[in-house]
Structure 1
């Protein structure tokens, strides 16, 4: 496939064309999932949660480390919120949108939104400044955690709700189409997990507008490219929420921190 791809509109069902595109490539992009006003409300709500977490010096949420960094003015910010849906009503209401039920059909029977599992609803806040701790993320698959936990690889999709309008120079999500069909060896060893940030000749740049929604298969190799611009223009926010199947495994405040999450410092 070329470095451009088809963007779709989400209706009341997943069309045959949409299902075939997703099956072949392992990702899909829907335009205008939420309105600009809703995007603004979400960003404002995230600032409220951020202020509370900083004031309370919150270190973990349900065993998942909170990732802090510095904003362009040197002030502390939260750069990765896990389970943010449990900390503000707007985020808890968002997954109740009936269109998420439509998205579950990409996996099929038994699929559910993982609002209480894995990392819950995650909000990532990237900004490329002199003191930022979160500007990129190396190549990885989301299915690795199941292997770390000694589990079989259950179906998992990652739903992204994009809160920023990006240009290619803003960095952001890069995917390797079709790699969701790879065998377990390629899933483990195709790239050096999180350490390899190099562009791949076959990668596709996901270039969303604020309010767009993307989905990628948990087995798909992907990375988050660093912005080539700095300062306010580099700021981008995105929400991720898993669609999962298999055994129900909710997290709680006493959940342990997984072994691989102790290496969060590798993820810049």
Structure 2
């Protein structure tokens, strides 16, 4: 298992070097996308939304279930908030950032767009490792079978992670198998046991991720979230995921049905 460093910065356009790196590996990390003032704003929005949704006893947004857990004091928390930018002006404004739009270049020749009200919208993952946590890691998977579940062709998509907490390589976090975004359909579906397989892989790489960094991976890339060896606040990992998608526009609203794959798994995706 290897650690890769990153020297990339994201501007209003992506550079030829960045395009080449992403094309080859299917993953890229940009340093200091957010300053610490912005990070603090988004963390306070996350806390506000979590409290509001718990008070309102919401269990799903636009048909997508919220995921609940307990913090180290035993209080109920929301571990996965979806469509969060539809309920927050600062988060909505973030999705208008020109630098995020620049990332659509990684999908060429397809036209990409930020899916604010499609898929699960802006997802915020809010994990903390406690001795009785149920959802502290995520086995190997790609993001593509969702398309198959929905009866669609697998389309290229980007999963963009905006990291609110520092998560160094030794503390778990995102692991990927570089280059597997170019695998054939059979490997995509059967290369590993989806979500069950948590084993280290000699080909995998990870990064030191710092608060304010941004990561991008191709949805067809094999990846996982490795469990933190720490407990409590030291293990807290808050990441906002922006889906950048292609293909037909498929917005969701409060009348949208729950996709059936949510019924048989509590642990499908980020």
Q: Calculate the TM-score normalised by the size of structure 2.
A: 0.95
In 2, the alpha carbon distance for the partners of 1:3 and 1:47 equals 32
More displaced stretch, 53-62 vs 254-263: 254-263
What is aligned with 1:151?
Answer: 152
What is aligned with 2:96?
Answer: 96
Q: Which runs of 5+ in 2 are unaligned?
A: none
What is aligned with 2:16?
Answer: 16
In 1, the alpha carbon distance for the partners of 2:120 and 2:90 equals 18
What is aligned with 1:257?
Answer: 258
Note the alpha carbon deviations across 1:96-135, whole angstroms, 9 max, x for none: 1111121111113521001111010000011110233321
What is aligned with 1:59?
Answer: 59
Distance change in 2, residues 1:120/1:168 (3 Å): same
- Mapping 1:120-139, distance limit 5 Å: 120-139=121-140
What is aligned with 2:87?
Answer: 87
Deviation at 1:263, TM superposition (A): 2.8
In 2, the alpha carbon distance for the partners of 1:102 and 1:29 equals 14
RMSD: 1.5
What is aligned with 2:75?
Answer: 75
Deviation at 1:76, TM superposition (A): 0.8
What is aligned with 1:46?
Answer: 46
Deviation at 1:55, TM superposition (A): 0.8
Q: Which 4+ residue blocks in structure 1 deviate beyond 6 angstroms?
A: none
2:174–2:226 contact (8 Å) kept in structure 1? yes
Note the alpha carbon deviations across 1:113-170, whole angstroms, 9 max, x for none: 0111101000001111023332111111111100111111111011110001112232
Secondary structure at the residue paired with 1:127?
strand
What is aligned with 2:234?
Answer: 233
Secondary structure at the residue paired with 2:129?
coil
Note the alpha carbon deviations across 1:73-96, whole angstroms, 9 max, x for none: 111111000111111111111101
What is aligned with 2:28?
Answer: 28
1:171–1:224 contact (8 Å) kept in structure 2? yes
Secondary structure at the residue paired with 1:211?
coil
What is aligned with 2:198?
Answer: 197
Q: Which runs of 5+ in 1 are unaligned?
A: none
Q: Calculate the TM-score normalised by the size of structure 1.
A: 0.96
